[in-house]
Copies of this chain bind each other. A is one copy, B any other.
């Protein structure tokens, strides 16, 4: 009953099989292999637009390197105050950009409030040498709160971005869950709504370790290979990263895995709500945020349930369903919650 995060899961069998299949003979190193060669085409097809794709192995690397491509050290990057880049990445963006400022903004359900963003931009930092220069907006899809930006919500932010000459980055560590959540095409949740660079996450969705940094504006990627290398993120045996990504795209595996995770989260949320518990956010992807009385927290722990304290003072807890959670896993947790 481990619901702490989707990263407590291992690999999906198809990913392991792909790694095994890629382990044949010799291959050119550092991305010159036949798997890596297919990435641009595969993702361009998926997104229905030409894009340049670069594998890295961690979400933090994907975020920091993508934002490094968008902002110099004297830049400002607008993000949600609860975003992973602001809270959970130990200054990685600041490090990779040599000092860019993350400007934390409020907003319900983990989504940047466009008015808060407008208000900040209205301060008139642009062109004033004393202030970091507005360069990028970074949003997460799905968000840290397990909600999903609708295309129109992204478009509202990208309209502000265009108006102020900013670029739009999407942290898609759970992009699969966002796409699987609804009826939107991957393109509608990304570049068609104005996203310039996307970190397409596979690790949380059943890969060993694989993320794709996808540039929808190819020219933004011109220095990426050098900056990836100097960050220590160029893999010699790149075929093993690329094979994971290709396997994800094959026959829609990424959506099947994420779809299962989402469905389990929905089950869990419904069950908890049915027990009279209050959810903090709509459950649109694979995360459930629920208020639990202390007694129940202790009871769940006593039953061996693992979950993440999100805001203990407020009694708010997070349960995440990985690709591998089953009906039985959810049922077991709901029983434990009911007993607790």
Chain B residues lying within 8 Å of A30, measured Cβ to Cβ, are 7, 129-130
Give the CA-CA distance A231 to B226 in the complex, in Å.
Answer: 15
Contact of A230 among B28, B95, B235, B237 (CB under 8 A): B95
This chain: copies in complex:
4
Are B95 and A129 in touch, CB under 8 angstroms?
no
Q: Mark A116-140, 1 if CB is under 8 A from B, else 0.
A: 0000000000000111110000000
Instruction: Mark A198-224 against chain B: 1 for CB-CB distance below 8 A, else 0.
Output: 000001100011000000000000010
Contact (Cβ within 8 A) B223 A74? yes
A164 at the interface (CB under 8 A from B): no
Any chain B CB within 8 A of the CB of A227?
yes
Tell me, in angstroms, the Cα distance from A91 to B233 when the chains sit together. 13
Q: Is the CB of B16 within 8 A of A89?
A: no
Any chain B CB within 8 A of the CB of A282? Answer: no
Q: Which of these, B16, B60, B98, B208, contacts A98 with CB under 8 Å?
A: B98
Indicate which residue in B29, B57, B60, B226 contacts A7 across the interface (CB closer than 8 Å). Answer: B29
Which listed residue (B20, B61, B208) contacts A232, Cβ 8 A? B61
Task: Please name the residue on chain B nearest to A313 by beta carbon.
Answer: B122
The size of the chain A interface, using a CB distance under 8 A, is 75
Judge if A24 is at the interface, Cβ distance under 8 Å.
Answer: yes
Bound-state Cα–Cα, A5 to B27, Å:
10
A340: Cβ under 8 A from any B Cβ? no
Docked-complex contact A94 and B73, CB < 8 angstroms: yes
Q: Tell which of B24, B62, B89 touches A130, judged by Cβ atoms closer than 8 Å.
A: B89
Q: Dominant SS at the A interface?
A: loop
User: Quick one: given A99-B95, A101-B91, are A235 and B22 in contact (CB under 8 Å)?
Assistant: no
A1-50 contacts to B (CB < 8 Å) = 2, 4-5, 7-11, 16, 19-20, 22-30
Instruction: Report the separation of the CA atoms of residues A9 and B62 in the bound assembly, to the nearest whole angstrom.
Output: 26
The contact of A74 among B11, B57, B227, B239, by CB within 8 Å, is B227
Contact assessment for B61 and A228 in the assembled complex, using a CB-CB cutoff below 8 Å = no
Tell me whether A269 is interfacial, beta carbon within 8 Å: no
Residues of A bordering B, CB below 8 Å: 2, 4-5, 7-11, 16, 19-20, 22-30, 56-65, 72-75, 87-92, 94-96, 98-102, 129-133, 203-204, 208-209, 223, 225-237, 239-240, 322, 324
